[in-house]
Amino acid sequence: MPNHEKKSRFSPTIVFLIVTTWLISIVLIWQARNPGSPTDLTLWQKELSEVVRRAAQAVVAIETELPRGRLLLENTGSGFVFDPDGYILTNEHVVHEAQTIRVTLPDKRKFLARLVGADMRSDLAVLKIETPDLPVLPVGSADDVQVGEVVVALGNPFGTGADGEPVSTFGRVNRLHQTSADLDPENDRFYDNLIQTTALTFPGSSGGPLIDGRGRAIGINTAMGAVAGTAAQFGFAIAFDAKTRSILEQLTAGGTVYHAFLGVETDTIDAETQRQMDLKDISGARVTTVLLGSPAQLAGIRRDDVIRAINSRRIYSPQDLTGTINDFQPNQTIQIDLLRRGETQTQPLTLSVQLAQRSLEDLYGYTEEARQGSILVWGLEVKNISRWRRRILDLPPGQTGVLVYSVTAGSAADQQHLQPGDVIIGLGQYKVDNTEDFAIVAEKYRDLPRVITLGEDR
């Protein structure tokens, strides 16, 4: 059977002319909208170079020393002058616990710097050097920044800017309003408004400015990131938003920055929780731990509650919850909307919570206590008494017993009116010094015996 090929309606010559005409028309339109484009591009490059040159006059290199026993730990970082009287902004982690701070200016002069104020949670610090009339880098607003915008990161990567000439890296903004609680959780740092850019930052760049095309500081370079298995790298900068400017003002005045504390540990909502609570969506933060004595515990928040909103602001994830609490001040009273699983159906509740002041020492104490082993029986959860809890309860030296950490509503422990924070020193006729004693004694009783607590005979 013969193969009949269908002939094309257009000859190669006609196709070539059509494509060529199309390309020429695109070029003509582009040139009409961008007259003198090659010249404009050259001018733009020169203008940007001049912007970077002026901004670099306010960028400084920072070197620190921290004696640790027989060792001398050294660190390098960056900063920039924001006040002509010698005030410099940098990251707190650049100068953390440093005994000696040296600053090198772009004109190669070196100064010993004084720490005016620092805030570990926001990772910001203000230094002061004694010299007047310094070039200043103007501070812009991150609210005006857009994805795709050209930015330049300036700093002292690997100490290469310690000769007074900061290094610059060029890139674009590829994400705004990024939140990260895992860059340095050991020091309780929380970053809730990061700018992610392709302008690379390296060790030593921290504290330097991220500038826009007009030469204004729109962020503070803070960290670098990479995509696993690839060569892709990017930088993070703390955005210059209203909150950052407020913290900067407080630190410059030598004040202390206070942060709010709720006192829960949360996780995402899993399929089992969604099924049990008959949730239409899994937005929110599921409470996994309520820290004993925290504002959350005092307000009545319970394990497995699902937090959905704070002051009518919707909560979509545990990170969102942390960021929202971070926007409040200690002693503020907030309204928390949550869902709680009841015996027959899920109940919506609104609780008033007075936030406390966030303290790194107390945070360590709370979390260490929450994560240590416990015994759960008769609706009663008990733990050994930590050194931190002993100080909080002002227990006498040598006092033994176990700490009541939680009580299940309606349980035998609840019927005996036991409360979280009580110290149990006896069960029935037996003395209890620690959780090992408690476990041994608990095996002797089917039902909860008479409980003896410190300071009260039940």
What angle (nearest 5°) sits at the alpha carbon of residue 128, between those of residues 126 and 130?
170
Same domain, 264 and 253: no
Do 188 and 241 lie in one domain? The reply is yes
* 146 burial level (CB within 10 Å; 0-12, 13-18, 19+): exposed
**Same domain flag for 158 and 239:** yes
pLDDT, tens digit, for every residue of 44-60?
A: 778 888 999 999 999 99
Quick one: three-class SS letters along 109-131? CEEECEEEEEECCCCEEEEECCC
Give the domain range for residue 296. Answer: 260-357
Query: pLDDT at position 387, please?
Result: 93
Question: Which pLDDT score, from 0 to 100, does residue 390 have?
Answer: 94
Residue 365 lies in a domain: no
Same domain, yes or no: 233 and 273: no
Question: Which tens digit of pLDDT belongs to each residue from 176-205?
Answer: 988 876 677 778 899 989 999 999 888 899
* 12: in domain: no
Q: Are the C-beta atoms of 64 and 100 separated by less than 8 Å? A: yes
Domain boundary among 227, 257, 287: 257
DSSP state of 397: T
Residues 164 and 290 grouped into a single domain: no
Contact 209, 196 (CB under 8 A): no
For residue 24, is pLDDT > 60?
no
| Cβ pair 52, 182 in contact under 8 A | no
Same domain, 376 and 317: no
List pLDDT tens digits, range 304-329. 999 999 999 999 999 999 999 999 99
Query: How many residues does this entry show for the chain?
Result: 458
> How does pLDDT run across 78-107, given as a tens digit for each residue?
999 999 999 999 999 999 999 999 999 999
Catalytic positions: 93, 123, 206
- Residue 215 belongs to a domain: yes
Q: Are residues 67 and 119 located together in one domain of the fold?
A: yes
Determine contact, residues 336/290, Cβ cutoff 8 Å: no
Asked if 221 and 210 count as a contact pair (C-beta separation under 8 A), the reply is: yes
In a domain, 426, yes or no: yes
pLDDT of 345 strictly over 90: no
- Assess contact for 56 and 166: CB atoms under 8 A: yes
Same domain, 309 and 394: no
Q: Does the residue 86 lie in any domain? A: yes
Same domain, 70 and 149: yes
Distance (Å, whole) CA 51 – CA 23: 36
CB 233 within 8 Å of CB 200: yes
Q: List the structure tokens of 63.
A: 């070197």
DSSP for 53-75, please give it: HHHHTTEEEEEEEEEETTEEEEE
Same domain, 115 and 179: yes
- CATH number of the domain where residue 100 is located: 2.40.10.120
Identify whether 190 is part of a domain. Answer: yes
pLDDT-above-90 percentage for the chain: 71
Q: Classify residue 351: in a domain, yes or no.
A: yes
Query: What's the average model confidence in pLDDT over 430-453?
Result: 94
Which of 292-296, 344-348, 445-449 shows the lowest per-residue confidence on average (mean pLDDT)?
344-348
| Secondary structure (3-state) at 238 | strand
Check whether residue 404 and residue 285 sit in a common domain. Answer: no
User: Number of helices and strands (H, E) in the chain?
Assistant: 11, 28
Assigned domain for 50 exists? no
Does the pTM surpass 0.85? The reply is no
pLDDT digits (tens, 9 = 90+) for 365-424: 998 998 899 999 999 999 999 999 999 999 988 899 999 999 988 899 999 999 999 999
Token look-up 């010993």 returns: 112
CATH code, domain with 408: 2.30.42.10
- Show which of 204, 222, 257 is a domain's final residue: 257
Please tell me the total count of domains within the chain.
Answer: 3
Same domain for 230 and 104: yes
Distances in Å between the alpha carbon of 444 and those of 293, 438, 449?
A: 31, 10, 10
Q: In this predicted model, which residue has the larger pLDDT, 127 or 70?
A: 127
pLDDT of residue 229: 65
The CA distance from 409 to 417, in Å, is 10
Distance of CA 404 to the CA centre of its chain: 32
Q: Distance between CA atoms of 158 and 150, rounded to whole angstroms?
A: 24
CA 317 vs. chain centroid, Å, equals 14
Query: Which domain-ending residue is among 208, 223, 257?
Result: 257
Q: Look up residue 139 and give its DSSP letter.
A: B
